[in-house]
Structure 1
């Protein structure tokens, strides 16, 4: 995937994001992946090499299907809150949203890894409807994004 190492982070603007939907399978059920096509221009940026995923296990899992509309609505509001909190910590790209019958995960690439712990703790304090899990990795080549965005 071509990288854009010379784009200044000041140009980062999620209002310009363009998303597509891909379908696949996960275990014995469907998987939907929202892919931020606009993120391609940032892929591999040397200052956005930290990947963080916030996974939200469903309260009413449906392993053979997808979440019900009400739970999906609640988790969509959490998605907006996660993005807002991460953006307050510095430059961030919301790259993917993965939905299965057992969880939703939101994948971001960011510069400031020091904000991840405080953001996770704040979400855990604010959110009583769902468990919020968080994992972060160094992913300077944006391998996870590339695995979904190719093609």
Structure 2
């Protein structure tokens, strides 16, 4: 696909996310991966080559299972806040949500890498319920997304 074949980044505002679930294992327990199937249209976009993951270790880990409902709800609210803050920094696609019994990680692809540090700092200042870890990499081919994508 050439860069001319990609949708304009302005169309991200109209993206109607469609998600699917994949199941696997992580360590000795289950892993659920929520995959944004709508994101496939953006995979490899030349302006969305930065992958950032926000990992949230669970306060009440369940290594052989999944998070309890209340903690999962709280972390779900954090997911929405992370997405909101990243979107304020420029074009972004929320690609994956990975859940195990010890952590949840939200994976995004974005254009503006300069917003990552300030977003992480703002989250660390706002969120007292959980530790929020952040790692960013260049991933122009969307290799991590492709490794989970079912298509």
Q: Is the 8 A contact 2:56 2:104 kept in 1?
A: yes
In the other structure, the counterpart of 1:83 is 83
In the other structure, the counterpart of 2:54 is 54
| Number of equivalenced pairs | 150
In the other structure, the counterpart of 1:12 is 12
Normalised by the length of structure 2, the TM-score is: 0.96
Report matched runs for 1:1-151 at 5 Å: 5-13=5-13, 15-151=15-151
Counterpart Cα distance in 1 of 2:28 and 2:50: 31
Q: Is the 8 A contact 1:17 1:36 kept in 2?
A: yes
Structure 1 outlier segments of 4+, above 4 Å: 2-5
SS at match of 1:23: strand
Deviation at 1:13, TM superposition (A): 3.1
Deviation at 1:7, TM superposition (A): 1.0
Counterpart Cα distance in 2 of 1:3 and 1:23: 33
**1:42/1:15 CA distance change after superposition, 3 Å:** closer
Q: Is the 8 A contact 2:6 2:42 kept in 1?
A: no
**1:32/1:3 CA distance change after superposition, 3 Å:** farther
Q: Is the 8 A contact 1:3 1:40 kept in 2?
A: no
